Structures are given as structure tokens and as C-alpha cells.
Amino acid sequence: MKVVLFACLIAVAFARPDGDAEVLRDEREDQGDGNFRYAFETSNGIFKETIGSPGSVGQSNMVGSYRFTDPDGNVVEVRFTADEEGFKPESDAIPQPPPVPEFVYELLAIAEQQRNSGVQFDEQGFEI
């Protein structure tokens, strides 16, 4: 829940300042049993929509999205899931790491072969 609130604050912080922004949409529904839904949108391009339900370990599971305009005027949209496994955002605006080089998979396969054959190494990397 705290992560989602933090994400909302980030969205508001990056939104274009507009003292004359008006609320265009504000919908809230709370069923009282942990299930909820809300959506809001403002005239300066801020949008947030979330659907929540009770989680298996006492938390709220949520899915939703938010949208805002960055300082360069680009519209940024983030879709997310928040559940037992944490906050998982998806967006073209989130930087992605480069692909893992093929040799890494080869080295992992060699390490697995060594483990399976009983090869062990000490703390300095020398074979025991």
C-alpha cells in the first residue's frame, strides 16, 4: 500500500504544474470487505485508476495504471500490479537493462556441470 501511495506521489510530482487544474473525474467504490476501486483524472493530464482486493497475507492486491505528463511534455503511462510479490510496474518510460550476454549462460552451464560432478571451490576461487 505504501509503495502505491509513493508511486502516486511521484506521478503528481512529475506532473506539469498547473494551479488551474480541475478534477474531471473522481470515482470511488469501497465494498467494505477489502475490495475497492477508484479512478480520478484532472484537466492537466493526471490520471489514476486502481482496483484492489484482499491478499493472502493480509495486504491489498492491486492492479491499475497512472498517467502524467513529464517535464518535457511527454505523456508517461505506467501499468502496475502490487501483491504478495511487491510492486511491479510496466512502462515504456522505465529503463530496461541490456540483454544478458550469451557467454553468461555458458558460464552458468559450466558451473552447474561442476556442481553436479562434485567440484568445489574455496573462498578464493581455487578448486578444493
User: Which stretches of 6-59 are assigned E, i.e. beta strand?
Assistant: 23-30, 36-42, 47-54
* 3 state SS of 72: coil
pLDDT top residue among 125 and 7: 125
Placement of cell 552451464 in the chain: 109
pLDDT tens-place string over residues 30-85:
988 999 999 999 999 999 999 999 998 888 999 999 999 999 999 999 999 999 99
pLDDT band at 3 (very low <50, low <70, confident <90, very high): very low
Domain boundaries, the chain: 2-90
Q: Which amino acid is at 6?
A: F
Per the rule left: phi > 0, alpha: psi between -120 and 50, beta: everything else, 49 is: beta
List Cα–Cα distances, 96 to 54, 91, 92, in angstroms: 31, 10, 9
Task: Please state whether the predicted TM-score (pTM) of the whole model is above 0.75.
Answer: no
Residues whose CB falls within 8 Å of the CB of residue 22, separated by 6 or more in sequence, listed in order:
42, 43
pLDDT band at 14 (very low <50, low <70, confident <90, very high): low
Segment 3-29 shows an average pLDDT of: 68
Segment 9-19 shows an average pLDDT of: 55
Placement of cell 512502462 in the chain: 91
pLDDT tens-place string over residues 82-107:
999 999 999 999 999 999 999 999 99
